[in-house]
Amino acid sequence: MKNIIVIGNGMVGYKFCEKFVAAQTTGFTLTIFGEEPRPAYDRVHLSAYFEDENATKLEMAPASWYTENNINLITNNRIVDINKEAKTVTDQHNQQHTYDYLILATGSVPFVPPIKGVEKEGVFVYRTIEDLEGMIAYAKHINQIKPNGKAAILGGGLLGLEAGKAVMDMGLEPHVVEFAPKLMPRQLDARSSKVLQLKLESMGIHIHLSKATNQILGDEVITGMEFGEDDILETDMLIISAGIRPRDELGKSCGLKMGIRGGIEVNNRMQTSDPYIYAIGEVALYNQMIYGLVAPGYDMAHVAVQQILGHTDITMASDIDMSTKLKLIGVDVASFGTPFMPADKGLSIIFENKTQFLYKRINVSLDGKKLLGGIMVGDAADYSMLHQIYLNGMAIPEDPAQLILPASEGGGLLGDIMDLPDEAQVCSCESVSKGQICNTIETGAATDLAGVVSCTKAGTGCGGCKPMVKDLTEATLKSLGIEVKDHICEHFDFNRQELYSLIQVKGYETFNEVLDNHGNGGHGCEICKPVIASLMATIHADTANKEYAIQDSNDRFLANIQRNGTYSVVPRVPGGEITPDKLIALGEIAKKYDLYTKITGGVRIDLFGATLNQLPLIWKELISHGFESGHAYGKSLRTVKTCVGSTWCRYGMDESVSFGIELENRYRGIRAPHKIKGGVSGCIRECAEARGKDFGLIAVEGGWNLYVGGNGGANPRHAELLAEQIDNQTVIKYLDRYLMFYMRTAKPLQRTAAWQERLDGGMAYLKEVIIEDKLGIAADLEAEMQTLVNKFECEWTQAVNNPEMMKRFNHFVNSKEEDDNLVFVPMREQKMPQQWQ
Amino acid sequence: METFLSKYTKTAPAEVTTWFKAASVNDFPKDGGACVKYKDKQIAVFNFERLNQWFACQNLCPHKLEMVLSRGMIGDHQGIPKVACPLHKKTFSLESGENLNGDLPAIATYPVKIEAGFVYIGFSD
Ligand SMILES: Cc1cc2nc3c(=O)[nH]c(=O)nc-3n(C[C@H](O)[C@H](O)[C@H](O)COP(=O)(O)OP(=O)(O)OC[C@H]3O[C@@H](n4cnc5c(N)ncnc54)[C@H](O)[C@@H]3O)c2cc1C
């Protein structure tokens, strides 16, 4: 048995374990030490923690994964010393551990420049979950003590801009301070940097360039930054993101060869100056460089594993691709290959449009045949393809400008994605090639995008390659003759969203109009009919009575069909608030018609066992007692569950019941792609379980936190934070927009959770659409919702008052008799249908 | 239950001995169905207006033996007129009675004729 010890359970240390497990070898024990309190997590997506504060979601693998794979994971323990000669390491509890091979994967720490006052309260770095927890708590504190708090970020690089967006989302005014005269100095040229600056400023991020910080102002707590004598920026918080320094102290103390400016030197086998000690990730100095990106670190992990297993021919490439695409900040920025081109080495083609915050530059070889690199700001949709053309040295058009010009000007000639060579590395984080992706489909291992992702892990790292993985999946399916369509069914070559626009634009009012004008010549079916019925309801505020033969089973009879063909009846009880008189009325009606009675999961009262003929009779009585349809049968708003809130509760921060009732009454009756549930909790104890709902509100100091996209059911999912500390009116405004946007764009029978999960651009995009109105549709969404709200009509009241509509509630057309097939048996003092045979 | 199912047998137009006058055409929804009582039978009748045709079949879904087919949605599958059971969306050809999306036993279908605004269903008993 040989002992391998890994120091550092970060992204790269974890990747070493994963690659080691995948190699399926025996004869080794593997132990990994991590100083942080939890197993390795996805640092690249650290900013996602601001959205939901969910650390588990970021885990690379749960602690149980290590156990299952016989890896000894020791967290919360720092290695303090290495003895190369004895081949031992000492941990912080002074325990010694022997190794045969030692892997240093200690990563890096943020570089904190020696500025006077950096130790003051309110100054943060941005590297670990604990850093973020500190920032979140501090930002909350600022928001509580003053209305327009500010936060500064020191460093206008990749990370600094991400931090800028994060503090903006926390409700603070962001100020990015950069020493260089341009943003992202390592990746962008001066012009693109200017375009980016304009765009960021238009989003509300303030940019301060060419600023050297002399000192941090304030007594104990930061109050500002001083650049020059009269040059001061007031700020309540500072996040330092001024680069990284390798955590090389162990290498230094045990005498490994170090770089002049730090980092532990390694060869192309990832070996340090001691052949039994390897270094990988951000601590490793390879080719005199520290690579601050995760993909090269993963490659290093792969090389180290192979070397230890004796595959000494597998070494690190000499050229490391440093291409990057900025994520999460609401503006596309990418740079690849050689972004700046000395004039004697190549030629540049530049396209700039400041009015649209667009900049694209490509650099080609002097003979115009090869793509050498480029920069894109404002629109990086073609980044993956250009990056691949560059990486694989593929041929480019005779006029290379066509690669970046808009299609309308003869551009858009990127070539076919299937022309990429099989070896082309599509996902650099997980090292997945085009060939591997296509292969999973060709062999039948996967049949769709989700399958490809789970087979290959492509797209699970930084996520930058996702669009390309999707395109490759679709192109491969197509090449196999498998059509990828999301047509709603065989009768229409359109998806739900397309039909939505058609109906809205053309103003169709009946199913036949839509089918005759846009169908495939068939006669519809149980799939397209309810979809179109729902669209008509959303667009024209129709009730299900209008064209009842195209309604789904339940909508057709305005009740939930149960397993023996009888129905259940659920009147609306908004927010779960009900008077004793109404409770008595429900009881009496249930008794009169001998209905099985139960409280539902949505805290209303459900009466089961009504025959078709009884439905209108029961409803007439319910309506006379002031009830209305609860739409329990529809793909529409069900309930808004509430806790009792500040009306009674000694912890309540706001009136959750009142607001719940208001919301339930506002959205009652609207038809959506699937059912919608809401919840309102009066404080963070969350008794209404609002985060398990499609929309949920939690009262906090200063307003409501609004969460969206939660779900119970088979795939439970917590709703995600859309906005914080907003007032009732703003809640309604955002909810109107959110629900309407969902109703417009979701697939049939897609709950908000699934819709939101698949939304390109994720939560960040959703916020842009709903809060910042990036698409310029917010006013339309609100107006459409308001129309639905204004036109609401209880469809049961409508039905019982209309003899023509009442005709359908008869089991027989030619007899008043009821279904004679029904058999009930007694159960716990009530009744139930006889078991199915 | 078996006897229950066996009450319904496919009836070809040539086998009809009784034309039962069920109801006025106006009692049936367009492109939808309703249920007709004939002796101790329940028959689902569909006015497939888009095809300008009427269909009849047993109201009993052979899947869970509930009297529900008349409440199902109709449409076509690759040109074959069909009904979808409202309980679990099992679909049946309205012409042959065959289960189109599974291997349930076929449902019994019956001939329908329209005379003077009335719907007649053909039975052999
Ligand atoms: C906010 C943010 C966004 C980023 N975005 C991107 C991006 O978009 N694309 C990209 O490619 N990269 C990005 N990065 C960089 C990426 O996260 C790093 O390249 C990657 O995490 C490096 O992995 P590592 O394992 O070398 O270091 P780390 O992930 O830092 O792991 C090192 C671990 O070792 C532990 N450790 C150190 N010393 C010891 C010791 N003596 N004993 C025990 N444990 C020890 C540390 O506590 C740490 O947990 C981002 C980083 C941040 C912070």
Question: What band does A413 get if pLDDT is binned at 50, 70 and 90?
Answer: low
Q: Please tell me the distance from the alpha carbon of residue A410 to that of residue A326, in angstroms, as a whole number.
A: 28
Give the model's pLDDT for residue A712. Answer: 86
For A189, residues 6+ apart whose C-beta sits below 8 A from its C-beta are A339, A340, A361, A375
Tell me how far apart the 2 most distant CA atoms of chain B are, in Å. Answer: 39
Question: What band does A757 get if pLDDT is binned at 50, 70 and 90?
Answer: confident
Is A427 annotated as a binding-site member? no
Give the bridge partners for B93, in sequence order: B82
Please give the angle made by the CA atoms of B16, B17 and B18, to the nearest 5 degrees: 100
Give the model's pLDDT for residue A410. Answer: 56
Q: How far is the CA of A571 from the centre of ligand 1 (A)?
A: 55
Give the model's pLDDT for residue A398. Answer: 85
A579: exposed, middle or buried (C-beta count within 10 Å: 0-12, 13-18, 19+)?
A: exposed
- The dihedral sign for the CA sequence A471, A474, A477, A481: negative
| Higher per-residue pLDDT: B21 or A429 | B21
**CA distance between the termini of chain B:** 21
- Token pair recorded at residue A228: 């020059």
pLDDT for residue A1 is more than 80: yes
Q: Please tell me the distance from the alpha carbon of residue A666 to that of residue A778, in angstroms, as a whole number.
A: 18
Q: Which residues 36-95 of A have a C-beta within 8 angstroms of B?
A: none
Q: Please tell me the distance from the alpha carbon of residue A646 to that of residue A656, in angstroms, as a whole number.
A: 7
Contact B51 A821 (CB under 8 A): no
Q: Please tell me the distance from the alpha carbon of residue B114 to that of residue B122, in angstroms, as a whole number.
A: 11
**Beta carbons of B85 and B72 less than 8 angstroms apart:** yes
Distance between B27 CA and the closest CA of chain A, angstroms? 7
Q: How far is the CA of A11 from the centre of ligand 1 (A)?
A: 6
| Higher per-residue pLDDT: A617 or A407 | A617
Is A429 annotated as a binding-site member? no
pLDDT for residue A580 is more than 80: yes
| Residue count (chain B) | 125
- Token pair recorded at residue A672: 């959506």
Q: Please tell me the distance from the alpha carbon of residue A711 to that of residue A750, in angstroms, as a whole number.
A: 11
Contact B77 A550 (CB under 8 A): no
- Count the helix, strand and coil residues of chain B and give each as a percent rounded to the nearest 5: 15, 45, 40
Distance between B71 CA and the closest CA of chain A, angstroms? 7
Q: Please tell me the distance from the alpha carbon of residue A293 to that of residue B68, in angstroms, as a whole number.
A: 62
Q: What percent of chain A has pLDDT over 90?
A: 68
Where in chain A are the domains? Answer: 2-108+245-308, 123-242, 419-483, 496-540, 557-790
Q: Please tell me the distance from the alpha carbon of residue A671 to that of residue A694, in angstroms, as a whole number.
A: 14
Give the model's pLDDT for residue B2. Answer: 53
Q: How far is the CA of A40 from the centre of ligand 1 (A)?
A: 9
Q: In which order are the strands placed within the sheet that holds A88-91? A: A79-83, A88-91, A96-98
Residue with CA at minimum distance from ligand 1 atom 6 = A44
If you compute the radius of gyration of chain B from its CA atoms, what whole number of angstroms results? 13
Mean per-residue pLDDT, A731-743: 97
- Which of B27, B32, B36 lies at the smallest CB-CB distance from A549? B32
- Token pair recorded at residue A787: 């129309």
Q: In which order are the strands placed within the sheet that holds A206-208? A: A123-125, A238-240, A150-154, A173-177, A206-208
Least confident range of A64-73, A432-441, A464-473: A464-473
Distance from chain centroid for Cα A449: 17
Nearest to A163 by CA among A153, A173, A149: A153
Q: Is residue A11 helix, strand or coil?
A: helix
Instruction: Look up the CATH architecture of domain A123-242.
Output: 3-Layer(bba) Sandwich (3.50)
- Token pair recorded at residue A121: 């309260």
Distance between B60 CA and the closest CA of chain A, angstroms? 10
Q: Please tell me the distance from the alpha carbon of residue A271 to that of residue A290, in angstroms, as a whole number.
A: 15
Least confident range of A6-20, A146-160, A204-218, A477-491: A477-491
Contact B22 A814 (CB under 8 A): yes
Question: What band does A459 get if pLDDT is binned at 50, 70 and 90?
Answer: confident
Ligand 1 atom showing the smallest separation from residue A295 Cα:
11
Pocket test for ligand 1, best of A12, A36, A92, A106 (most atoms within 8 A of CB): A106
Q: How many CB atoms lie within 10 A of CB A396?
A: 22
Is A794 annotated as a binding-site member? no
A623: exposed, middle or buried (C-beta count within 10 Å: 0-12, 13-18, 19+)?
A: middle
Q: Please tell me the distance from the alpha carbon of residue A262 to that of residue A251, in angstroms, as a whole number.
A: 10
Question: What band does A453 get if pLDDT is binned at 50, 70 and 90?
Answer: confident
> So what's the ipTM on this one?
0.94
Give the bridge partners for A571, in sequence order: A629
Give the bridge partners for A277, in sequence order: A102
pLDDT in tens, A521-532: 899 999 999 999
Q: How many CB atoms lie within 10 A of CB A479?
A: 12
- Backbone φ and ψ of A340, nearest 5°: -105, 135
Distance from chain centroid for Cα A268: 37
Mean per-residue pLDDT, A418-444: 86
Is the minimum CB–CB distance between B34 and chain A shorter than 8 Å? yes
pLDDT for residue A329 is more than 70: no
CATH class for the region spanning A419-483: mainly alpha
Is the minimum CB–CB distance between A519 and chain B shorter than 8 Å? no
Q: How far is the CA of A43 from the centre of ligand 1 (A)?
A: 6
**Does ligand 1 lie within 6 Å of residue A8's CB atom?**
yes
- Backbone φ and ψ of A788, nearest 5°: -60, -40
For chain B, domains (ranges, CATH) are: 32-123 (2.102.10.10)
Picking from B7, B28, B37, B51 by the largest number of A CB atoms within 10 A of its own CB, the best residue to mutate is B37
- Please compute, for residue A405, the number of CA atoms within 13 A of its CA located in the half-sphere on the CB side: 12
pLDDT in tens, A257-316: 999 999 999 999 999 999 999 999 999 999 999 999 999 999 999 999 999 999 999 999
Q: Please tell me the distance from the alpha carbon of residue A721 to that of residue A723, in angstroms, as a whole number.
A: 6
Contact B73 A550 (CB under 8 A): yes
Q: CATH assignment of A557-790?
A: 3.30.413.10
pLDDT in tens, A762-785: 888 999 999 999 899 999 999 999
Is the minimum CB–CB distance between B51 and chain A shorter than 8 Å? yes
Q: Please tell me the distance from the alpha carbon of residue A51 to that of residue A774, in angstroms, as a whole number.
A: 19
pLDDT in tens, A25-59: 889 999 999 999 999 999 998 988 988 888 988 99
Give the bridge partners for A619, in sequence order: none
Q: How many CB atoms lie within 10 A of CB A653?
A: 19
Contact list, A820 vs chain B (CB under 8 Å): 40
- Which of A525, A548, A563 lies at the smallest CB-CB distance from B77? A525
| Residue count (chain A) | 837
Could you tell me the pTM of the whole model? 0.57
Contact B29 A808 (CB under 8 A): yes
A513: exposed, middle or buried (C-beta count within 10 Å: 0-12, 13-18, 19+)?
A: middle
Chain A residue with Cα closest to B89: A526
Give the bridge partners for A336, in sequence order: A374
Give the model's pLDDT for residue A519. Answer: 92
Q: How far is the CA of A243 from the centre of ligand 1 (A)?
A: 13
Is the minimum CB–CB distance between A558 and chain B shorter than 8 Å? no
- Token pair recorded at residue A112: 């904190």
**Beta carbons of A142 and A318 less than 8 angstroms apart:** no
pLDDT for residue A823 is more than 90: no
pLDDT for residue A407 is more than 70: no
pLDDT for residue A166 is more than 80: yes
Give the model's pLDDT for residue A354. Answer: 87
pLDDT for residue A447 is more than 90: no
Give the model's pLDDT for residue A481. Answer: 77
Give the bridge partners for A706, in sequence order: A697, A723
Give the model's pLDDT for residue A793. Answer: 93
Tell me whether domains A2-108+245-308 and A419-483 share a fold.
no
Contact list, B87 vs chain A (CB under 8 Å): 553, 561, 563, 565
Q: Please tell me the distance from the alpha carbon of residue A301 to that of residue A307, in angstroms, as a whole number.
A: 10
Mean per-residue pLDDT, A60-75: 95
**Beta carbons of A393 and A367 less than 8 angstroms apart:** no
Q: Please tell me the distance from the alpha carbon of residue A471 to that of residue A420, in angstroms, as a whole number.
A: 12
Give the model's pLDDT for residue A327. Answer: 66
- Most confident range, picked from A438-447, A707-716, B112-121: B112-121
DSSP string across B49-96? GGGTEEEEEESEETTTTEE-GGGSEEEEETTEEEEE-TTT--EEETTT
Instruction: Look up the CATH architecture of domain A2-108+245-308.
Output: 3-Layer(bba) Sandwich (3.50)
pLDDT for residue A639 is more than 60: yes
> How high does pLDDT run on average in chain A?
91
Chain A residue with Cα closest to B21: A814
Q: Please tell me the distance from the alpha carbon of residue A360 to that of residue A394, in angstroms, as a whole number.
A: 19
Q: Please tell me the distance from the alpha carbon of residue A175 to that of residue A239, in angstroms, as a whole number.
A: 10
pLDDT in tens, A469-478: 888 888 888 8
Distance between A609 CA and the closest CA of chain B, angstroms? 14
**Does ligand 1 lie within 6 Å of residue A13's CB atom?**
yes
| Higher per-residue pLDDT: A420 or A247 | A247
Q: Compute CA distances A576 → A583, A638, A643, A660, A680, whole Å.
A: 11, 11, 9, 9, 11
Residue pairs spanning A and B at CB distance below 8 A: 106
| Higher per-residue pLDDT: A646 or A464 | A646
Is A683 annotated as a binding-site member? yes
pLDDT for residue A328 is more than 60: no
Mean per-residue pLDDT, B56-83: 94
**Does ligand 1 lie within 6 Å of residue A296's CB atom?**
no
Contact A524 B76 (CB under 8 A): yes
Q: Please tell me the distance from the alpha carbon of residue A293 to that of residue A512, in angstroms, as a whole number.
A: 56
Least confident range of A51-55, A188-192, A251-255, A788-792: A51-55
Mean per-residue pLDDT, A199-219: 94
Is the minimum CB–CB distance between A531 and chain B shorter than 8 Å? no
- Which of A522, A553, A819 lies at the smallest CB-CB distance from B86? A553
Question: What band does A425 get if pLDDT is binned at 50, 70 and 90?
Answer: confident
Is the minimum CB–CB distance between A816 and chain B shorter than 8 Å? no
For B6, residues 6+ apart whose C-beta sits below 8 A from its C-beta are none
